[in-house]
Structures are given as structure tokens and as C-alpha cells.
Amino acid sequence: QTLNSSDANVDPVSRQLFDYRWRKQRPDLLTISSGEPVYFDQTVALNSVLLNNRYVVESLQHAVNERTPDREVFAKGTGAHGYFEVTNDVTKYTKAKLFEKVGKRSRILVRLSVSQGEKGTTDLNPVAGKGFSVRFYTEEGNFDLLGLNTPVYFYKDPTLFREFVHAFRPNPKTFIRDGHTAVDFVTFNPVSLHTILWQLSEYGLPRGFRHMHGFPCHTYELYNEHGESYFVKFKFIAELGFDSFSLLEASTITSFDPDFFIRDLYNSIENKNYPAWRFEMDVLNTSDLRKLKFDPFDVARLWPNGTYTTVEIGRLVLNQNVKNQFAEVEQAAFNPTNLVPGIIEPPDQLFRGRVIAYNDAQIHRLGINRNKININCPMYAKTYNRDGIPPTLDNEGDAVNYYRNSFNGPIPLLDIARPQRQLIIEQSSAVDLQDCWRFYNEVLVTDAQKQRLVNAVVMVAIRVKTTLQKKLVRLLRQVDPKLAARFVATIDIFKKTVRLPQVVEDINRTNPNPFSNVTMS
């Protein structure tokens, strides 16, 4: 009774309903969805003719129909509203109106998520990548950038999407996540090792979403008013700086708050500690492109230092929590093909795969009119699409419904600056493990960082049969014999000191943590 919105001991997440009650002052009249008031005696179904009770019938019908398909990947996440402000003049690179002048602000929606696992999974799984989706609502349509928490992606051939997703999902018979399939996938597809090393290192486990950087990974083409092109990789750099949880912290926090990242983001926004990111791009110009000795469109590899310049664009600030997760986050359809004039889709094969996948996935999840759901509505849209499963909004009213026509229906944009040629690139399937070596030796600097990475690899591989472990060792040896030796030494220690329970009788009641005898950073 006494708990209200000013209760200092309760965090904003836990106070949310009390804040609502405080704002509301008194209840509204309850109705069924058609608007008819609910009579007091309808709220109890006992001793009545059930089918005449529209309130009970509707409640049952609605409850059994309220689930929609989850996202195929990145199912768990949260979102927040905010703004993007241009802090540097980038009109030399792009004519996008979003960036037209310093100081210009645009509304944004950001969704931060966990790549693997179902909606109820923990935010702190050290094996799962994190998602970083940003939507800019612009006068030229929605511009969406979907990124990861690491600057590289697992593979560059879209054929691997299904195989990767399946290999990291629970076993179809046991419904248990199985290290065998994960290790098997990596040894057959060494291209994925670079990103997997990033993900299993401290860089894969940020200290909450506010401390996480975001990397859309692909190389986009920008063009300016004069039709001059540049090739860029965007990135979002957390103003709080990157920081990570140790494996031990992660497992402890998971046991009492698997939603910790969501709580942290929500509370910090309510407490007005607004999370913010610097929006930047690494730039190559067209003449650089011709001289390069690496494939700048390869999402699985980094651009070598010294080959590009970094340009600041602006600042993203999240200053408003959503009111309703289903309406504003679950129904959000971030789509990498949502682009604006001045920004052209990346020419690599992975992106082309994404062009097909997101539309299909979102039609399945949200229906053909997904862009008419409030949260997806662009600032301006005029199409010749009509009808379909709601929402249809006004269904374009009395406007003419076919193109071309003599009735002043909407006409296309003539953009003379947009490059007319289509970039065709050749991508090699050869795997170069040089980046993995660089990651282990140059990105990870201290011994503790290297050991932490190897501990995480061992935790995935510990239950895996020796034959597959040996295959993994062979792959790690190709990267760096020192990495392989550290893996072998660590897994030996784990095998001697860890006894993983197979059935409840194996659990040591006085010391249930099987890893307590090994040092885990």
C-alpha cells in the first residue's frame, strides 16, 4: 500500500507498476474488445452459462492466440527510444538527408539482443553473440543498421546461415545444447573461427548493453550530391567505454538475474543516466579500393590498420524506455535492406542472402503489412500496395492503386547522383587464419586475456569426444601452436579437476559448482 513511485529502495524496473498506479489515480471502466462494458457478474464464470459470457469467451480466445513467432535468431532482447544528432559534417561522403547538417536530430529506435537461445535465455551466456540494431526514422524512409558486438561476422557465404544456426541450437533428440555440433561446425568451417574467438573472449561478454560497441560489419557504399562514392564500415562506440564481465561474474549474476542487461538498460534510462554511443565510420575511397591487397567486403575479416580513415558522424542517445515491449520491440522489423538515398546496399553475397531472409522472416512473423505496424511506420511512405491481413491503416484511401497512371499517383525519385553501375565483386572461399593469429597475439594483449579466452573455449569443448577435441587442436595449431598448447594444458586441468554431473546423484551438495577447483577469470 505504501510503495509508490518515490520509494528509494526499489529500482525503476521493480517499481514500474506502482508508478503506473500513482499516475492513474483511479481505474478506467473495463470493456471487452468491442467496447461493451463488462458487467461485474461476468468476471466470475462459475454457476453461469459460459457461452453467454462474452468476457470469459474473449479472454480464453485471446489468451490462446496471443503468441506470435519469435525471431528466428536474436529472439531475446529489449529496446529503447532516443535521438541521433549529427556532430560532424559528412556531406562530402553522403547526400543522405539524415546527415545533412551538424546539429540535426532524428528519432531512433535501438534494439539490443542476444543471438542464441530462446526468449527466456540468459543475457550473460558467454558463448552467445549480442545484437545491436538501430533504426533512424528519416524523411527519406527508415534507415536500419543491424550489427553485432564484434567487428566481424562468422562467415561470408549465406549458405552457412542454416548450418550455423542448427549447429549451435539444442540437439533435436535430447533438446540439449551439444558442444559436439558446435566444435564440429567450426572445424568444418574454419572461416567462423575468427568471430568465435572474438565472441568467446572478454569482447563477447560486455558488462551490460551500455558498455557494448556495435558493428554492422558489412561495407556500405556512400555517394554524395556529385555522385562520388566512398566505401565505409559503420560502428557505434559506447561512450562509457567497453567493459566486460568475467566468466565467474557472468555465471553468478545469471543465477539470480538472467535479465540483468535488460534491467541495467531500463534502470539507467529511468535514472536519467542515458546510454550513448559515438557513431563513426571507417572510410576507404574509390582509388584506395583499387590498390587494396585484401577483400574489403569480407565480413569475416578486419580491415588492416593503416588502410582506412575513421570519420566521426554523430551521437546516439537513448533517453526513453518503451511503454510496451510487444508493440514497440517485439513487433519491430529491423531490416538491413531499409536504406536511404546516399547509402547503397553492400555488394557482398552475405548481404544478398540477407535481402531474401529478413523480408521472408518478417512476413512470417508479422504479416505482409509489417511496415504499417506503428513502430515500423516510416515518416513518409506512399505505395501501390493494398489490402492484406491488418493493419492496413487507411489502405491509401481513395488514391489510384496501380503504376503508371494518369491520375497523379506517386511517382519515383530521379536521383542523378546515384551511381548507375552495379558493383560486382569476386569473393574467394579460401580461409586465411592470419586474422585469428592477430586476434590472439595482438588484440588480446595480456596473459590473463588469452587464458580467459581459452577457458571459455574449454567450457564449450569439455564434454566433447576426444576425436573432435583433437580436430579442434589441429585447427588451433594452424592458427598458433601456442594457442593450441594453452588449450591442451587447460583442458587437461579441467579434466582432472572438474567432474560434471550427469545425473542428480552426481551433484556434490556441499559444493555444487563443478568448476570451483579451477581458476576462472
- List of residues contacting ligand HEM (CB under 6 A): 71-74, 77, 111, 113, 131, 133, 146-148, 153, 158, 161, 216-217, 299, 332-334, 350, 353-354, 357-358, 361-362, 365
Q: How many Å apart are CA 484 and CA 458, to the nearest integer? A: 11
Q: Which is nearer to ligand HEM, 42 or 369 (CB)?
A: 369
CB nearer to ligand HEM: give 74 or 223. Answer: 74
CB atoms within 10 A of CB 381: 15
The residue (of 361 and 399) whose beta carbon lies closer to ligand HEM is 361
8 Å CB contact between 333 and 376: yes
User: Is 359 or 478 the residue whose CB approaches ligand HEM more closely?
Assistant: 359
Backbone angles phi, psi at 323, to 5 degrees: -85, -30
Asked if 319 contacts 81 with a C-beta cutoff of 8 angstroms, the reply is: yes
Nearer to ligand HEM, 74 or 198 (CB): 74
- Residue 44 CB, nearest distance to ligand HEM (Å)? 40
Q: What cell does 306 get? A: 593503416
| Residue 427 Cα distances to 159, 268, 298, 348, angstroms | 14, 43, 8, 8
User: Using N-to-C axis directions, what is the helix angle for 481-497 and 447-461, rounded to 10°?
Assistant: 60
Q: How far is the CB of 152 from ligand HEM (least distance, A)?
A: 9
Is the separation of the CB atoms in 266 and 321 below 8 Å? yes
Q: Which three cell numbers stand for residue 206?
A: 560486455
Minimum CB distance to ligand HEM, residue 76 (Å): 10
Tell me the three cell numbers of residue 362.
Answer: 518478417
Return the ∠ at Cα 290 (arms to 289 and 294), rounded to 5°: 65
Nearer Cβ to ligand HEM, position 240 or 361?
Answer: 361
Quote the CA–CA distance of 273 and 80 in Å, as a whole number.
Answer: 13
CB of 350 to ligand HEM, least distance (A): 5
Measured from each CB, the residue nearest to ligand HEM is: 131
**At closest approach, how far in Å is the CB of 349 from ligand HEM?**
9
Looking at the Cβ atoms of 19 and 345, the one nearer to ligand HEM is 345
What's the closest the beta carbon of residue 134 comes to ligand HEM, in angstroms? Answer: 9
C-alpha dist (Å) from residue 304 to 309, 338, 339, 364: 11, 29, 27, 40
Nearest approach, Cβ of residue 308 and ligand HEM (Å): 18
Query: Dmax over Cα atoms in the chain, in whole Å?
Result: 83
Q: What is the CA radius of gyration of the chain?
A: 26
CB of 364 to ligand HEM, least distance (A): 8
Task: Considering the complex, state which of residue 131 and residue 342 has its C-beta at the smaller distance from ligand HEM.
Answer: 131
Residue closer to ligand HEM, measured from CB, 110 or 457? 110
CB distance 221 to 100 below 8 Å:
no
Residue 373 near residue 393, CB atoms below 8 Å: no
We find the least distance from the C-beta atom of residue 182 to ligand HEM, in angstroms, to be 18
